[in-house]
Amino acid sequence: MRWGLDAVHVRFGQRVALAGVTVPVDPARVTVVVGGDGAGKSTCLKVLVGLVQPEAGVVRRPSKGRIGFVPATAGIYVDLTVEENLEFSADAYRLSAAERRERGGEILERTGLAEARKRLGGQLSGGMQRKLAVGIALLHSPALLVLDEPTTGVDPVSRAELWRLISRAAAEGTAVAVATTYVNEAARATSVVLLEAGEALASGSPDAILRNVPGALGAARGASRPTPLSWRRGIEWRVWAPTGVLPGGVETVDPDFEDAVVVAALAGESRR
């Protein structure tokens, strides 16, 4: 792996935040770290960009000037206009006047903010604010782009546009790492790490994770929970049998990616 975390341990006081987590991040690829709140996704990304130092393990990252970071909370200046926000980034990364003009124009086009360039950051909608934050991070053509929950709370149309931005960056060779709680976003990635309570429950390509779902998965109906290891999907229940033997009357189904993630989470829980 070119960049990323390798068997990293992080502790905050007495609390173990990450236990031996590996997150590979390679150029022209998108790695997604997926998990619930408190799983350690943000911590992973913070270790990756150097905001948090690990107790043990290896972290590989390029120099500060080659990293673009979008924190979980917007990360733009609400009292500055779109243009001024980009100016600040250009100053910080010391872009030449020519680079600024060219790249700035390109970013404004790509993020769809060209019309809004004189608007204050605080006047943009949530989706546009996120796009600006990503634009600021991409302005200096970083080698590594790191985004912490870029689409949480953003409407679906803006979310699709944000992912196009991300994919385009990867297509141009940038290594991208994204943290998210949305399972269907993990399905877009080339590499997934499923995190729960600081542990990597599953990792690999989405297809590989699907292929490696342990046990058997079934679907059932009814008002009450069929077994302790069941969960709701719409009006049905999904039933998971770690042993591979489903209870009677439950028909087998092929797991989709969301099923795979829930199974991994349940497996992790029963281990603990």
- Taking the complex as a whole, the smallest distance from the CB of residue 13 to other proteins amounts, in Å, to 14
Q: Closest separation between CB of residue 146 and other proteins, Å? A: 8
Q: Which residues contact 156 (CB under 8 A, 6 or more apart)?
A: none
| Residue 66 vs 119, nearer CB to other proteins | 66
Q: How far is the CB of 73 from other proteins (least distance, A)?
A: 3
251-252 and 30-34 strand pairing = unpaired
Q: How far is the CB of 144 from other proteins (least distance, A)?
A: 9
User: Nearer to other proteins by C-beta: 28 or 114?
Assistant: 28
Of 65 and 247, which has the nearer Cβ to other proteins? 65
Tell me how far apart the alpha carbons of residues 76 and 78 are, in angstroms, rounded to a whole number.
6
Closest to other proteins by CB, 122 or 249: 122
- Token pair in block for residue 190: 């080339």
What are the residues whose beta carbons fall under 8 Å from the beta carbon of 239, sequence distance 6 or more? 217, 218, 219, 220, 226, 227, 229, 230, 246, 247, 250
Instruction: Please report how close the Cβ of residue 164 comes to other proteins at its closest, in angstroms.
Output: 7
**Dihedral over alpha carbons 232, 237, 243, 245 (to 10 degrees):** -170
Q: At what angle do helices 126-138 and 82-92 cross, to 10 degrees?
A: 30
Neighbours of 51 (CB within 10 A): 12
Q: Which is nearer to other proteins, 137 or 250 (CB)?
A: 137
